[in-house]
């Protein structure tokens, strides 16, 4: 049994019909429920729910304060390597994009780590492209060994791996893993991933579960909103998270809501995802999974991120640079995506305090 | 000969079957469960199993309970 | 709409299970059964009292009833397993309610021993209905080892205090795929009704009926309450809004 079986249970026709047929009355009933089913979640993502957004937001706010408190966990991404063998049409690291690729040496990793640690952050997310021969397990492990000295939690957002590979990274000191399916729509997925190992939809889809089986402490899933209809990808994100949480009750499951941003490359017009859509997704998800974390990255502009704090977000990045070595050099190396919120850690903290929330630097420590 | 029934000593005739013993005690063999020397005796065999000297019997039945 | 209730392969139309304990006389039982509409009845196993002249409780239970012997008296898994095998030897079927209690103060069950007994007995083909505190992890383990249902308590045995463990019962009903039968602590028909409204599969009660002034009448009340609660659950309760009138809007910025 894999999540793929669950995915197949929701045909595109069924989703389209349900989204169209949901009524405002049904939405109100669902908002009042204590526990939502996946179909309830879908109903909250429908156009009919837009008229009740404020009600959803109020409940999402209450639930988040109840289960998480008035806190926001801060972290930052560290890009270790931008070498990549995939040709994904929407990504700045696309193998066909020509720019000088870079991979941090251990000395550079230490320097990046020092610079980031100096800002007070304790949770780090390390990223690579998909190039195992260049930036593979042993390279990542070497980096982790250094990073362990500076950070209390190390998360990875790299290429899809085998269960044993996740297990060896966990042993090295990784406690969290993020992997976006990009889009759960297998047909669109196929056209977007022109060439490279990432073209394998199922292998990627099952990767978060392999990480769970390997004993990863926390697992984060998501879709790049705008590649397909956001309501459908949003739905599958939630259902994927729910599937993992039910099956692996001891693991902390969370989601991210990355909305597609301009990148170098030739990706055509993404589908529209408005601010209102984003709010609908995060509040609907909060009602569906009251205890799951929600991360909002610097793809979003500062003003929007501030508002999102009260809408269910629990984790945010700060002081972000999506270029390899971006926390050390100031050169204009091509980042993975264009950042919107450029606030550093200090600025983020000020904004969070102003909203009556507390920024958290450290949630746990692996012993 | 002597048999221990529900923890108490009882003197009975030699050659008595379980079935005969139960009837002697005013019990309906259909409604009781018998354990002989720690082993459950199949109800169908009550009329066949012959009691031996020093056998340890537990005779039980259902009672009211929640 | 058809509302199937199947346990151990047997289809039941009543979701009220009753007990046979604490009555002033066993002769009341046939009337209690009739008035309650129940189809499942519990009994205990004890040594025959040679000196007593009271008849066997089985004489008062119609053949059509599904017997659910319990392992009361068992203080650990081994004792429960022994009692279960003895009960089965009586020839009234293979259902067993596992009740392992080594706490004489509150009569709270031992979840760990219950899991052990369930695993062995389910392996021997028993239809096992384990009595437990509403502990989610214990319940999950019981699903794994082959229980046919889980029977969490609403309040300690005999207290008639109602659904004191309501929040935990809701979680079990939500998370456990087996029938969740609320057993112990139910005091009033409204308690049973509430349990059913929450989505419990059935209620098992004894003291609440036996301790009433008019047990047969109370039995009827409980039968109606369980049926009413079930119907309400199936009908789908209306929504209750708590968040309607908020002072400061959170989504106003979207219209700017």
CATH of the domain at B41: 3.10.20.30
The residue range of the domain holding C112 is 6-235
* C243–A31 CB contact, under 8 Å: yes
> Is there a domain that residue B66 lies in?
no
Cβ–Cβ < 8 Å for C44, B62: yes
> Is there a domain that residue B34 lies in?
yes
What are the tokens at A35?
A: 């526990």
Chain B CB contacts of C26 under 8 Å are: 64
> Is there a domain that residue B51 lies in?
yes
> Is there a domain that residue B46 lies in?
yes
> Is there a domain that residue C82 lies in?
yes
The chain C residue lying nearest A58, using CA atoms, is C243
The tally of domains found in chain C comes to: 1
**Residue C147 pLDDT:** 98
Chain A CB contacts of C242 under 8 Å are: 32, 59
d(CA C253, CA A77): 29
C97 is a catalytic site residue? yes
The neighbours of chain B, by the rule of 3 or more Cβ pairs under 8 Å, are C
pLDDT in tens, C107-160: 999 999 999 999 999 999 999 999 999 999 999 999 999 999 999 999 998 888
CA distance A362 to chain C (A): 28
Query: What confidence tier does C214 reach under pLDDT thresholds 50, 70, 90?
Result: very high
CA distance C241 to chain B (A): 40
In chain A, which residue ranges form alpha helices assigned H by DSSP? 3-9, 12-21, 24-32, 38-44, 53-68, 106-118, 137-147, 163-172, 186-192, 201-205, 207-214, 230-247, 275-288, 302-308, 345-354
**Residue C242 pLDDT:** 63
Nearest by CB to residue C239, choosing from A33, A62, A303, is: A33
> Is there a domain that residue B44 lies in?
yes
**Residue A346 pLDDT:** 94
> Is there a domain that residue C247 lies in?
no
The residue range of the domain holding B54 is 2-60
Task: State whether residue B27 sits within 8 Å of chain C by CB.
Answer: yes
The chain B residue lying nearest C99, using CA atoms, is B66
**Residue C247 pLDDT:** 63
User: Which of A248, A247, A249, A348 is closest to A306 using CA atoms?
Assistant: A348
**Residue A89 pLDDT:** 87
Tell me whether residue C151 is exposed, middle or buried, using C-beta atoms within 10 angstroms of its C-beta: 0 to 12, 13 to 18, 19 or more. buried
- B and A touch per CB criterion (3+ pairs under 8 A): no
Query: What confidence tier does C254 reach under pLDDT thresholds 50, 70, 90?
Result: confident
The neighbours of chain C, by the rule of 3 or more Cβ pairs under 8 Å, are A, B
Task: State whether residue B38 sits within 8 Å of chain C by CB.
Answer: no
Chain B CB contacts of C184 under 8 Å are: 66
Chain A CB contacts of C253 under 8 Å are: 303, 307
Q: Report DSSP letters for C49-81, one per residue.
A: -TT--PPPGGGGS-TTSEEEEB-TT--SHHHHH
d(CA A202, CA C201): 38
Close Cβ partners of B20 (under 8 Å, ≥ 6 residues apart): B47
> Is there a domain that residue C255 lies in?
no
* B33–C45 CB contact, under 8 Å: yes
At how many degrees (to 10) do helices A137-147 and A163-172 cross?
20
* C243–A59 CB contact, under 8 Å: yes
Cβ-based contacts under 8 A for chains A and C:
46
The overall average pLDDT reported for chain C is 92
pLDDT in tens, C23-64: 888 899 999 999 999 999 999 999 888 877 667 899 899 999
**Residue C252 pLDDT:** 87
**Residue A160 pLDDT:** 96
* C20–B43 CB contact, under 8 Å: no
User: Which of A178, A123, A131 is closest to A147 using CA atoms?
Assistant: A123
Nearest by CB to residue B33, choosing from C72, C89, C157, is: C89
What are the tokens at A211?
A: 């990480």
Chain B CB contacts of C57 under 8 Å are: 61-64
> Is there a domain that residue B40 lies in?
yes
> Is there a domain that residue C50 lies in?
yes
* C243–A53 CB contact, under 8 Å: no
Nearest by CB to residue C254, choosing from A34, A62, A275, is: A275
Cβ–Cβ < 8 Å for B41, B60: no
Task: State whether residue A186 sits within 8 Å of chain C by CB.
Answer: no
> Is there a domain that residue B7 lies in?
yes
pTM of the model: 0.80
The tally of domains found in chain B comes to: 1
* C72–B65 CB contact, under 8 Å: yes
Task: State whether residue A21 sits within 8 Å of chain C by CB.
Answer: no
Nearest by CB to residue C251, choosing from A28, A57, A59, is: A57
CA distance C89 to chain B (A): 7
> Is there a domain that residue C243 lies in?
no
Nearest by CB to residue A58, choosing from C238, C246, C253, is: C246
* A31–C254 CB contact, under 8 Å: no
Chain A CB contacts of C170 under 8 Å are: 34
CA distance C144 to chain A (A): 13
Close Cβ partners of A149 (under 8 Å, ≥ 6 residues apart): A113
CATH code for the domain in which residue C114 is found: 3.20.20.70
Ramachandran region, residue B22 (left: φ > 0; alpha: ψ -120 to 50; beta: rest): alpha
Please tell me which residue in C22, C63, C88, C97 is annotated as part of the active site.
C97
Distance from chain centroid for Cα A164: 23
Domains of chain A, CATH where assigned: 3-360 (3.20.20.70)
Local structure of A155: helix, strand or coil: strand
Query: What confidence tier does B21 reach under pLDDT thresholds 50, 70, 90?
Result: very high
Cβ–Cβ < 8 Å for A325, A80: no
Residue with tokens 């008595």: B16
> Is there a domain that residue B65 lies in?
no
> Is there a domain that residue C1 lies in?
no
pLDDT values of chain A reduced to their tens digit, one per residue, 367 residues: 899 999 999 999 999 999 999 999 999 999 999 899 999 999 999 999 999 999 999 999 999 999 999 999 999 999 999 999 999 988 888 999 888 999 999 999 999 999 999 999 999 999 999 999 999 999 999 999 999 999 999 999 999 999 999 999 999 999 999 999 999 999 999 999 999 999 999 999 999 999 999 999 999 999 999 999 999 999 999 999 999 999 999 999 999 999 987 665 556 677 889 999 999 999 999 999 999 999 999 989 999 999 999 999 999 999 988 888 888 876 555 677 778 899 999 999 999 999 999 999 988 777 7
Looking at chain C, the whole-number percentage of residues with pLDDT higher than 90 is 77
């Amino acid at each position: 049994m894999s999540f793929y079986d669950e995915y197949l249970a929701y045909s595109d026709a069924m989703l389209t019909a349900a989204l169209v047929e949901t009524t405002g009355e049904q939405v109100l009933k669902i908002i009042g429920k204590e526990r939502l089913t996946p179909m309830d979640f879908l109903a909250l993502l429908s156009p009919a729910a837009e008229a009740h957004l404020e009600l959803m937001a109020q409940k999402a706010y209450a639930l988040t304060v109840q289960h998480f408190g008035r806190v926001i966990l801060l972290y930052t991404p560290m890009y270790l390597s931008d070498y990549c063998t995939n040709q994904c049409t929407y990504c700045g690291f696309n193998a066909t994009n020509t720019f000088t690729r870079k991979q941090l040496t251990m000395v550079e990793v230490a320097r990046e780590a020092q610079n980031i640690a100096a800002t007070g952050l304790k949770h780090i997310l390390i990223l690579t492209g998909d190039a195992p021969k260049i930036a593979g397990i042993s390279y990542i492990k070497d980096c982790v060994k250094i990073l362990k000295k500076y950070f209390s939690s190390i998360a990875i957002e790299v290429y899809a791996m085998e269960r044993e590979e996740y297990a060896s990274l966990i042993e090295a000191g990784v406690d969290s893993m993020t992997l976006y399916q990009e889009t759960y729509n297998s047909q669109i997925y196929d056209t977007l991933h022109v060439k490279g190992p990432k073209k394998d939809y199922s292998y990627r889809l099952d990767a978060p579960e392999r990480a769970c089986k390997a004993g990863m402490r926390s697992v984060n899933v998501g879709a790049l909103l705008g590649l397909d209809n956001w309501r459908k990808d949003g739905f599958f994100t939630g259902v994927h998270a729910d599937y993992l949480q039910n099956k692996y009750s001891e693991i902390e499951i969370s989601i991210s809501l990355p909305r597609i941003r301009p990148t170098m490359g030739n990706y055509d017009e993404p589908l529209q995802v408005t601010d209102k859509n984003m709010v609908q997704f995060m509040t609907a998800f909060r009602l569906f999974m009251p205890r799951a974390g929600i991360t909002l990255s610097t793809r979003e502009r500062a003003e929007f991120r501030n508002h999102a704090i009260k809408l269910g977000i629990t984790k945010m990045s700060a002081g972000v640079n999506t270029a390899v070595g971006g926390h050390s050099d100031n050169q204009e190396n091509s980042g993975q995506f264009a950042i919107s919120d450029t606030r550093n850690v200090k600025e983020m903290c000020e904004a969070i305090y102003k909203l009556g929330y507390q920024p958290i630097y450290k949630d746990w420590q692996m012993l | 000969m002597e048999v221990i029934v529900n923890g108490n000593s009882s003197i009975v005739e030699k050659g008595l079957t379980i079935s005969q013993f139960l009837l002697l005690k005013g019990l309906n063999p259909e409604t009781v469960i018998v354990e002989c020397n720690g082993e459950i005796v199949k109800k169908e065999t009550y009329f066949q199993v012959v009691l031996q000297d020093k056998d340890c019997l537990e005779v039980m039945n259902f009672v009211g309970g929640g | 709409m058809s509302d199937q209730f199947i346990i151990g392969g047997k289809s039941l139309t009543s979701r009220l299970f009753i007990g046979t304990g604490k009555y002033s006389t066993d002769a009341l039982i046939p009337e209690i059964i009739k008035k309650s509409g129940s189809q499942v009845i519990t009994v205990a196993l004890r040594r025959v009292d040679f000196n007593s002249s009271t008849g066997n409780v089985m004489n008062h239970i119609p053949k059509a009833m599904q017997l659910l012997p319990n392992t009361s008296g068992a203080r650990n898994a081994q004792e429960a397993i022994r009692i279960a095998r003895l009960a089965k030897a009586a020839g009234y079927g293979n259902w067993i309610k596992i009740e392992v209690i080594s706490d004489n103060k509150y009569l709270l069950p031992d979840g760990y021993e219950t899991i052990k007994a369930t695993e062995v007995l389910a392996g021997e083909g028993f239809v096992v209905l384990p009595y437990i505190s509403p502990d989610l992890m214990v319940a999950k383990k019981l699903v794994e080892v082959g229980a046919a249902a889980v029977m969490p308590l609403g309040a300690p045995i005999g207290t008639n205090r109602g659904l004191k463990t309501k929040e935990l019962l809701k979680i079990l009903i939500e998370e456990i795929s087996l029938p969740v039968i609320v057993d112990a602590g139910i005091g009033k028909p409204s308690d049973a009704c509430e349990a059913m409204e929450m989505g419990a599969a059935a209620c098992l009660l004894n003291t609440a009926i036996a301790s009433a002034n008019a047990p047969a009448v109370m039995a009827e009340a409980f039968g109606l309450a369980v049926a009413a609660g079930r119907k309400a659950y199936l009908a789908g309760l209306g929504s209750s809004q708590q968040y309607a009138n908020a002072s400061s809007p959170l989504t106003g910025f979207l219209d700017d």
